[in-house]
Amino acid sequence: MSKPGRLEIDVEQLNALLDRIEQHKLTEADFPLIADLIRSMAWLSQSLEDQSITIHRLRKIFGFKSERTSYLPAVKHEDNSSETKSDPDHKDGEFLGKDNTDENSDDNKDDDIDENPANKGGNPLDGKRTREGRKFSAKDYKDAVITKLSHTSLKSGCRCPDCQSGNLRMVDPGIVLRILGQPWLQAHIYELERLRCNTCGKTFTAKLPEAIARGSKYDNAAKAIVSLLKYRGGFPFFRQESLQAMLETPISDTVLWEMTKDVAMCLEPVYETLIVEASKGECLHNDDTTARILDLTLENKTRKEEKERTGVYTSAILSKLSNLQIALFFTGRQHAGENLDDVLDSRPKGMPIPTQMCDASSNNSPERNETDEGNCLAHLRRKFFEIAEIWPNYVLPIITSLNTLFRNAREANEQGLDETHTFEKHKVESAPVMDNLKHYCKALIDDKKTEPSSNLGKAINYMCNHWEEFTLFLRKPGVPIDNNADERLMKRAVLNRKNGLFFKTQFGAYVGDILLSVIETCQLNKINPYHYLTAAQTYKDEIKEDPSQWLPWNYETTLSNLGLGPPAIDTQP
């Protein structure tokens, strides 16, 4: 509804109009005024609903960030059950076949929606957490330095000193774990002895070890850890500089940038190869978020045509192959769909049409390449979750139905079902829920329980307009029900934007894209990124010749085949 014009009416005129209405003496001139008043009231009511949603979103910034059903103020299970049953327009289990407000129902245990671990275990209101920290065993420390200690007086085969009748044999060793601390960057100073002839004055200086003499001032391991701190940890250069000064190992932020740039240039052929490999994915997730590049911001001020795009975005693309996952980041003026098009341009001809998972934004859809697009049910659920306080009796059954879909997906994952069996499970258990959900929402519109222009009506229209995309997982095996995997990737870009604020140049953003892509690909495939970044610098010439043999998941095999072995990382001067 459009905003009405200003009503030119004072209190006396309004009181006079009310008197004529009560006396049934309306004049011809009163009807346009009454119509304007009704339009204004309708617009004001809708605006208040929109304002309520805005306040709800703002509250999430300072309060709960979870979307668990149990955190909705409208869901007080003891009180809400009676409230729901008293509503003549709603019946418990109207389309689920069970009590939607049952506190013990699995449908309300939407753990997959709540990605905030602080909200698991304990009451978030009192600040207490009952969940114990995760405990690690010695085998989890794969990079640990192992020191073997032998018994000082006994060995295998000796007579037992206690019973004096049996012989000793080797058993599993006892384990004692110690965690040692040290700054991540340490300075090694080499003092070269110098001798000078007291006759001719010639000076003779001790030689550096060859490896040190040929190497850079900043070694490969140092560059690797600085890159990880910046792009995985979100630790900006100026903050690293400050901490290094505090630890009495001063390094400027400019030098830290040069170190990460060197790593990125070694990995550039790998990044380009990852794009080609990602194009072969069976399922590709994509999404984007805003970014800041100062050079492009200045460029926007000089643009003459208003229709030219001025926004800057970071796109995250997650490509899933049979046994691999590849993460790609792109920062610039292109939207996620345009970047996905660039990736799919490298897809070999004749391959099946890939599955695409994203939200329903048109910016995510490629134009040049065909995909089977599925839309994220978590985004759909959020549309209803945001208005649950305004329409609790109508919206809570919808949220409960969507919770059932996530429960089915979670059970399939916990049971270790493959794509085919997961697809069959959804067809049997999730398809009826989706059918009933559509009929229920359609009835809300048809029965005039809500208007299409209301917030609830808009959420229902959003679902209906993209129904084919939301239900793709019921027609094609291997389709995920949400885009959460890509959202988790986006958090890395958001973390760097929040802490580092901006990129200065497009090239700086490109360096960030390379390192983010490689580091996250290592993380997804359980490869140690520190070792990989170090190896990539050591064997950068070999990578240029054939980058396909130096990808995160096969570089160790290449090292073994060439008899090179992993690069040595010195810890002593």
Whether residues 307 and 403 share a domain: the answer is no
Q: Which residue has the higher pLDDT, 57 or 365?
A: 365
Identify the domain boundary among 446, 474, 502.
474
pLDDT band at 17 (very low <50, low <70, confident <90, very high): confident
The per-residue pLDDT for range 433-452, each reduced to its tens digit, is 999 999 999 999 999 888 88
- The answer to whether residue 240 scores a pLDDT higher than 90 is yes
The per-residue pLDDT for range 160-176, each reduced to its tens digit, is 888 888 898 998 888 88
- The answer to whether residue 104 scores a pLDDT higher than 90 is no
Whether residues 352 and 500 share a domain: the answer is yes
Whether residues 45 and 82 share a domain: the answer is no
The per-residue pLDDT for range 281-317, each reduced to its tens digit, is 999 999 999 999 999 999 888 876 767 888 999 999 9
Tell me whether residue 161 is in a domain. Answer: no
- Rounded Cα distance between 384 and 398, Å, is 8
- The answer to whether residue 513 scores a pLDDT higher than 70 is yes
Whether residues 367 and 509 share a domain: the answer is yes
pLDDT in the model for residue 33: 80
Q: How much is the average pLDDT of 83-101?
A: 39
DSSP state of 252: -
pLDDT in the model for residue 100: 38
Tell me whether residue 169 is in a domain. Answer: no
Distance of CA 17 to the CA centre of its chain: 58
pLDDT in the model for residue 63: 47
pLDDT in the model for residue 60: 53
- Rounded Cα distance between 355 and 319, Å, is 10
Tell me whether residue 430 is in a domain. Answer: yes
pLDDT in the model for residue 26: 84
Q: Which residues pair with 373 in a beta bridge?
A: 356
pLDDT in the model for residue 491: 94
The per-residue pLDDT for range 184-220, each reduced to its tens digit, is 898 988 888 999 998 898 999 999 888 888 888 899 9
pLDDT band at 116 (very low <50, low <70, confident <90, very high): very low
- Rounded Cα distance between 347 and 276, Å, is 7
Residue whose token pair is 């058993």: 171
Residue whose token pair is 């008197």: 19
pLDDT in the model for residue 342: 95
Tell me whether residue 151 is in a domain. Answer: no
Whether residues 449 and 549 share a domain: the answer is no
Are 536 and 515 in contact, with CB atoms under 8 Å apart? Answer: no
Range of the domain at 505: 257-376+483-561
pLDDT in the model for residue 365: 94
pLDDT band at 16 (very low <50, low <70, confident <90, very high): confident
Tell me whether residue 348 is in a domain. Answer: yes
- The answer to whether residue 2 scores a pLDDT higher than 60 is yes
Q: Which long-range contacts (CB under 8 A, 24 or more apart) does 338-343 make?
A: 338/366, 338/367, 339/286, 339/288, 339/315, 340/284, 340/286, 340/315, 340/364, 340/366, 340/369, 340/371, 341/366, 341/367, 341/368, 341/369, 342/275, 343/275, 343/278, 343/279, 343/284, 343/317, 343/319
Q: How much is the average pLDDT of 149-168?
A: 88
Whether residues 48 and 110 share a domain: the answer is no
- The answer to whether residue 105 scores a pLDDT higher than 80 is no
Identify the domain boundary among 451, 474, 497.
474
Whether residues 340 and 389 share a domain: the answer is no
pLDDT in the model for residue 203: 92
The per-residue pLDDT for range 316-349, each reduced to its tens digit, is 999 999 889 999 999 999 999 999 999 999 999 9
Are 496 and 234 in contact, with CB atoms under 8 Å apart? Answer: yes
Whether residues 428 and 534 share a domain: the answer is no
Residue whose token pair is 């009180």: 79
Are 115 and 484 in contact, with CB atoms under 8 Å apart? Answer: yes
Whether residues 266 and 315 share a domain: the answer is yes
High-pLDDT (> 90) share of the chain, %: 54
- The answer to whether residue 119 scores a pLDDT higher than 50 is no
- The answer to whether residue 402 scores a pLDDT higher than 90 is yes
The per-residue pLDDT for range 21-51, each reduced to its tens digit, is 888 888 888 888 888 888 777 766 666 665 5
pLDDT in the model for residue 269: 97
Whether residues 49 and 19 share a domain: the answer is yes
Tell me whether residue 196 is in a domain. Answer: no
The overall average pLDDT reported for the chain is 84
| Domain total of the chain | 3
pLDDT in the model for residue 131: 57
Tell me whether residue 384 is in a domain. Answer: yes
DSSP 339-397: HHHHHHTTSPTTPPPPEEEE-S-GGG--SSS--EEEE-HHHHHHHHHTTTTTSHHHHHH
Tell me whether residue 302 is in a domain. Answer: yes
Q: How much is the average pLDDT of 476-504?
A: 93
- Rounded Cα distance between 539 and 561, Å, is 14
Q: How much is the average pLDDT of 492-519?
A: 95
Whether residues 503 and 357 share a domain: the answer is yes
- Rounded Cα distance between 272 and 514, Å, is 9
Q: How much is the average pLDDT of 531-554?
A: 95
256 contacts: CB under 8 Å, gap ≥ 6: 226, 230, 237, 240, 241
Whether residues 261 and 358 share a domain: the answer is yes
99 contacts: CB under 8 Å, gap ≥ 6: 81, 92, 93, 105
